Amino acid sequence: MLKFFYILLLVNFGRCSDHQIFDAKNVAVGQNVTLNCSRDHRWLLTNLFWIRLVSQSFPEVLGSTISHNLNISPTIEKTHHITTKQEPGTFVLHINRAQLSDTAVYYCIKVRERKMTFLKGTFLRVKGPDPGITGVTQDFLSNPVHPGDPVTLQCSVLSNSENRTCTEDDRVYWYRAKPDESHPSLIYSQGHNSYDCEWSPEAPSQQKCVYSFSRNVSLSDTGTYYCAVATCGEILFGNGTKLDIKVPVVHHWDLQKTNTVVFLLCVALSINLIVIAFLIYTIKEKNKTSAAFSVQTNTETTREEQQIQQRHEDSLAYAAPTFTKRNTRKAERRNARATEKICIYSDVRASECGKSDA
């Protein structure tokens, strides 16, 4: 990666000089670093620059000066804990107490008449305490995995206590890389208390710590899982565990039986619906017939009552008392009583008429 950026800068900014120098330097965290770039006073109208190039970042200008000597005070520029200044015959870059983030490529560049030339390049690597980790391995899954199954992924971290100069606790992160994603995604992190460690009986200084990650998987969990161990300023990745989730295969015979059962259920449901509709229709018709019969019965009853009432009215007789007087002779009057005809109601439907002797 660093060589790629180096070649890229050469292509973009110009051709190297015959005296171009590129070297590498390893230092420990907290150590002071000094980088020198030759400065020729005969270079008129020439500027010198110190730049820093970090992977996936734009070049950063740390300081600049002129190449020839002038009777003025030297230019001193400071960026964070990095200082650049002009000294006799050289342009100096000084890093005070180097940090892990200072790991980068440092270039000294000469610019003259819009032409850029690389004079010196240094790959500076700042190393932290040795974590003593000798390997990170992951176990493969031997059994097939189906949706809903519980799955446990394991990550084993091997370390050597004799080489370990770092007291920082390890942290393990789990990443998942999907085929349709360009970058892995973080899905889980574990602290230093969630692991099981054991010492090797053959080598007492060898230690093996096992980190586990469990979950019930679904189809969306398909991918490759990586465990990353972060300790002492370094990140170590495992070899990855591929998780393929298989959908249970439905055989043709099972599918045919399923289709048959579904068909029979649909037929039974249709028959039930027809029977229910027929029963509803029958009940409605029966209710209509009962209602018509009840109406007819009520009508006939009303007619019969009216006829009976009419017959009763026709049989009623209305009469008044009638008195009949008969003129007789005096002689007969002495011998016989005059008779009177009297009608008396005996019933509201019939009447009797009788004779009464006057």
Closest by CA position to 209, among listed 131, 151, 127, 130: 131
The pLDDT assigned to 345 comes to: 47
- 237 and 139 together in one domain: yes
Helix, strand or coil, per DSSP, at residue 102:
helix
**Residues sharing a CB contact under 8 Å with residue 89, sequence separation 6 or more, in sequence order:** 38, 39, 41
Strands (E), the chain: 21-28, 33-38, 46-53, 60-66, 76-79, 82-87, 90-95, 104-112, 115-127, 133-138, 150-160, 171-177, 185-190, 196-199, 206-216, 223-231, 234-237, 241-243, 339-345, 351-357
> Range with the lowest mean pLDDT among 98-102, 167-171, 177-181, 246-250?
246-250
- Using pLDDT thresholds of 50, 70 and 90, give the confidence band for residue 105: very high
- 55 and 141 together in one domain: no
Closest by CA position to 238, among listed 286, 176, 281, 325: 176
Is the residue at 314 inside a domain? Answer: no
pLDDT at 34 over 60: yes
- 96 and 146 together in one domain: no
- 139 and 238 together in one domain: yes
The pLDDT assigned to 106 comes to: 95
- 196 and 106 together in one domain: no
- 141 and 189 together in one domain: yes
Is the residue at 198 inside a domain? Answer: yes
Last residue of a domain, one of 243, 264, 281: 243
The pLDDT assigned to 71 comes to: 54
pLDDT at 180 over 60: yes
- 142 and 118 together in one domain: no
- Using pLDDT thresholds of 50, 70 and 90, give the confidence band for residue 52: very high
Q: Across residues 151-157, what is the average pLDDT?
A: 89
Percent of residues, the chain, with pLDDT higher than 90: 17
> Range with the lowest mean pLDDT among 259-263, 281-285, 320-324?
320-324
Please provide the distance, in angstroms rounded to a whole number, between the alpha carbons at the two ends of the chain: 161
- Using pLDDT thresholds of 50, 70 and 90, give the confidence band for residue 57: confident
- 173 and 115 together in one domain: no
The pLDDT assigned to 226 comes to: 92
pLDDT at 70 over 50: yes
Tell me how far apart the alpha carbons of residues 105 and 222 are, in angstroms, rounded to a whole number: 39
pLDDT at 143 over 50: yes
Of residues 265 and 320, the one with the higher pLDDT is 265
The pLDDT assigned to 4 comes to: 38
Last residue of a domain, one of 106, 127, 148: 127
Is the residue at 310 inside a domain? Answer: no
Is the residue at 319 inside a domain? Answer: no
Is the residue at 346 inside a domain? Answer: no
What's the whole-number average pLDDT of the chain? 76
Domain with residue 48: its CATH number is 2.60.40.10
- 201 and 103 together in one domain: no
Is the residue at 37 inside a domain? Answer: yes
- Using pLDDT thresholds of 50, 70 and 90, give the confidence band for residue 231: confident
Q: Which long-range contacts (CB under 8 A, 24 or more apart) does 179-185 make?
A: 179/222, 179/223, 184/226
- Both tokens of 130, joined, read 């040795």
- Using pLDDT thresholds of 50, 70 and 90, give the confidence band for residue 12: very low
> Range with the lowest mean pLDDT among 83-87, 166-170, 307-311, 322-326?
322-326
The pLDDT assigned to 314 comes to: 58
Q: Across residues 52-81, what is the average pLDDT?
A: 78
- 91 and 160 together in one domain: no
Are 232 and 128 in contact by the 8 Å Cβ rule? The answer is yes
Q: Across residues 311-337, what is the average pLDDT?
A: 53
CB atoms within 10 A of CB 184: 18
Closest by CA position to 344, among listed 324, 322, 325, 326: 322
Kind of pairing between the strands at 21-28 and 115-127: parallel
- Both tokens of 26, joined, read 């390893």
- Using pLDDT thresholds of 50, 70 and 90, give the confidence band for residue 32: very high
Is the residue at 321 inside a domain? Answer: no
Q: Which residue's entry shows tokens 């509803």?
A: 280
- 142 and 200 together in one domain: yes
Q: What is the dihedral of CA 256, 257, 262, 268, to 10 degrees?
A: 130
The three state secondary structure string of 230-256 is EECCEEEECCCEEECECCCCCCHHHHH
The pLDDT assigned to 58 comes to: 87
Tell me how far apart the alpha carbons of residues 213 and 196 are, in angstroms, rounded to a whole number: 13
Quote the number of domains for the chain: 2
- Using pLDDT thresholds of 50, 70 and 90, give the confidence band for residue 340: very low
Tell me how far apart the alpha carbons of residues 75 and 77 are, in angstroms, rounded to a whole number: 7
Tell me how far apart the alpha carbons of residues 169 and 129 are, in angstroms, rounded to a whole number: 12
The pLDDT assigned to 69 comes to: 66
Are 52 and 59 in contact by the 8 Å Cβ rule? The answer is yes
Helix, strand or coil, per DSSP, at residue 117:
strand
The pLDDT assigned to 121 comes to: 92
Last residue of a domain, one of 102, 127, 152: 127
Tell me how far apart the alpha carbons of residues 225 and 223 are, in angstroms, rounded to a whole number: 6
What is the DSSP code string of 255-318?
Answer: HHHHHHHHHHHHHHHHHHHHHHHHHHHHHHHHHHHHHHHHHHHHHHHHHHHHHHHHHHHHH---
Q: Across residues 33-49, what is the average pLDDT?
A: 83
Q: Residue 31 belongs to what domain range?
A: 20-127
- 98 and 180 together in one domain: no
The pLDDT assigned to 185 comes to: 87
Is the residue at 31 inside a domain? Answer: yes
- Both tokens of 328, joined, read 């007789």
